Structure 1
């Protein structure tokens, strides 16, 4: 075989190989494009991500997800109470008030707060000197809506209150749960070697400058490492959700 013929065969082979590799790259890019357009992460992919980050999931993936709406809300004004920079209200008792049990405490809270029936105790946030109650709406927790009772030597010394009055609602499209979990893991906020022990859907409120113009957005709350971690449940959520990790008992 002369050199010119060998060179021609080599060039043709190189061109064919180049075309083949180009086709492979094109197919990969097309598949990636379809994946990005669909914006869906499979359960196998999320399990691989969990394994790569040494994160365990000790509870099942949510199967039936309730698509809750975004709510416009206002913050309830409490006349005669102190107000802080976040529009939460506080009342204090210098001498403290003694209660014989939880039932008598809740009776007192209902006398102080006519909307207290909307709140449920959150035992995982209880400490020796603090009890926390979370606002609920149609069975869905509003994680930022709270009644916090402070105690000193067993006596109630202060109540902190943030109550939302829900107004107009707007339907929004949820992102798949796997995508929401992916967003939390890839954000770096959930440490490696974590174990997720609870998953709950609820509401949080991004920063608001006006108590009459509050937006409550759907979020997922994950419990891991004795902390609560939050991530958006929809693409429509905007703004800073505030503190992402919260210590629990």
Structure 2
């Protein structure tokens, strides 16, 4: 046996083994540092929130992934509507305007349960909506459509607005509806609620001495596509002056959304969709990335 050759082979093998072990050590060390940095980052934001007396309760921890959803705007002209207590029905393609024959009394304008019976008895697919906002000054209340108990925030084609008289009786309502709602097969990993709160804080949107009262997951319009919806964190904040503010964060991309202004712009410009045909979700998502 050639001892010098064997010695050289052993040296090469041990060098390879040393390199492998060193690379393994570096990987473990890097992972450890990343975990430590993430935990320090969370502690830092918690400390900063505490310093500014910004409080929040239990945050959702069981919602890690969710899918985009798609559908189409309901064309009420295609439906033979039979609505009880309807004196007059006006249909403008995707919008339904109904005047009641007999006004419907609301016993308590501040409670959602007071409206539920009206929605169930008088509104087409009325149980698909949940109360969002009450405007006593203008005598109306807005309801947003839901899918699997998740709210579709400020979707032009998914809301009901009821109007009442000075005797707290509903006399008229307008309705739009998204139908054939389907979830995309591929689920996306979501940014955490704490990360969404951190984003708002770093943008200076959370005032000192405020309280985060709600953190919920729903859906909102993806870019200007009226029929493709993205998972969205809703964060409600009560300020020191008891003013309630609502913020929305794209739960996939981790960016702040201005849904109220976007909805107002859409109302002024009209529906930007080309027709009521179902949109191919993957195609539209690919367009949005370009």
- Bin of the TM-score, shorter chain as denominator length: 0.5 to 0.7
Superposed, 1:121-200 pairs within 5 Å as 121-122=131-132, 125-128=133-136, 129-144=139-154, 145-153=158-166, 154-165=168-179, 166-169=181-184, 170-200=186-216
Return the match for 1:202 from 192, 198, 218.
Answer: 218
Q: Alpha-carbon deviation of 1:42?
A: 4.4
Aligned to 1:247: none
**For 2:260 and 2:53, how far apart are their aligned partners in 1?**
21
Over aligned residues, Cα RMSD in angstroms? 3.7
Taking the aligned partners of 2:176 and 2:207, their CA distance within structure 1 comes to 30
Q: Spell out the pairing of 1:1-249 with structure 2 (5 A cutoff).
A: 42-52=41-51, 54-79=52-77, 80-82=90-92, 89-91=95-97, 93=99, 97-101=102-106, 106=116, 109-110=119-120, 113-122=123-132, 125-128=133-136, 129-144=139-154, 145-153=158-166, 154-165=168-179, 166-169=181-184, 170-208=186-224, 211=226, 214-225=227-238, 226-235=244-253, 241-243=258-260
* SS of structure 2 residue aligned to 1:73: strand
On the 8 A contact 1:207/1:241 being kept in 2, the answer is no
Change (3 A) 1:157 1:233: same
TM-score, normalization: structure 1? 0.64
Q: Which runs of 5+ in 2 are unaligned?
A: 1-28, 78-89, 108-112, 239-243, 262-290
Gaps of 5+ in 1: 1-29, 245-249
Larger RCO: 1 or 2 (CA < 8 Å, sep 6+): 1
SS at match of 1:223: strand
Contact 1:190 1:229 in 2 (8 A): no
When the two structures are superposed, what TM-score results if normalisation uses the length of structure 2? 0.56
Q: Give the match's secondary structure for 1:44.
A: helix
Shift of 1:196: 0.8
Q: Name the SS of the counterpart of 1:193 in structure 2.
A: coil
1:3-27 CA deviation, whole Å, 9 max, x = no partner?
xxxxxxxxxxxxxxxxxxxxxxxxx
SS of equivalent residue, structure 2 residue 76: coil
